[in-house]
């Protein structure tokens, strides 16, 4: 299967959207970890799933405090 | 040029580290925007550059409030 250009709008189909989210979330968090480790940057990421009321949280460094 | 496996540790060379950071940051934020748009998720990202005391901030949705 080749690459198809996909339109950048919310995926309407619930099941497809969940699958896309879980796949992309994985790759995205991998990229985040790589970025923070390679470049020595501190990162905080929040992804909020409004429908399920679930929060995904990644923090590269335990002592990164926004205050 | 093929793909070479790189070790996941902080890049020692200052210039190389900055280049890597800017390249990866771009791709990373693109992925973030795509993830939030495709899946209808709300996201907040902070990347803190300690050396330059600069904060990169991305927020998918203006009314995403952590409180």
pTM of the model: 0.84
Q: Do A38 and B64 touch (CB under 8 A)?
A: no
CB B56 within 8 A of CB B44: no
* Among B residues 5-64, those touching chain A with beta carbons less than 8 Å apart: 6, 8-11, 17, 20-21, 24-25, 27-28, 31-51, 64
Structure tokens at A21: 């989210």
ipTM of the predicted structure?
Answer: 0.84
pLDDT digits (tens, 9 = 90+) for B5-52: 878 899 999 999 999 999 999 999 999 999 999 999 999 999 998 888
pLDDT digits (tens, 9 = 90+) for A42-62: 999 999 988 888 999 999 888
- SS3 of residue A24 by DSSP: helix
Neighbour order of strands in the sheet with A42-49: A54-59, A42-49, B42-49, B54-59
Q: How far is CA A34 from CA A18, A22, A23, B25, in A?
A: 24, 19, 17, 11
């Amino acid at each position: 299967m080749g690459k198809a250009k996909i339109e950048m709008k919310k995926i309407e189909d619930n099941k497809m959207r969940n699958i896309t989210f879980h796949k992309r979330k994985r790759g995205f968090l991998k990229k985040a970890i790589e970025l923070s480790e390679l470049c020595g940057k501190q990162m905080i990421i929040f992804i909020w799933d409004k429908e399920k009321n679930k929060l995904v949280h990644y923090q590269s460094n335990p002592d990164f405090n926004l205050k």
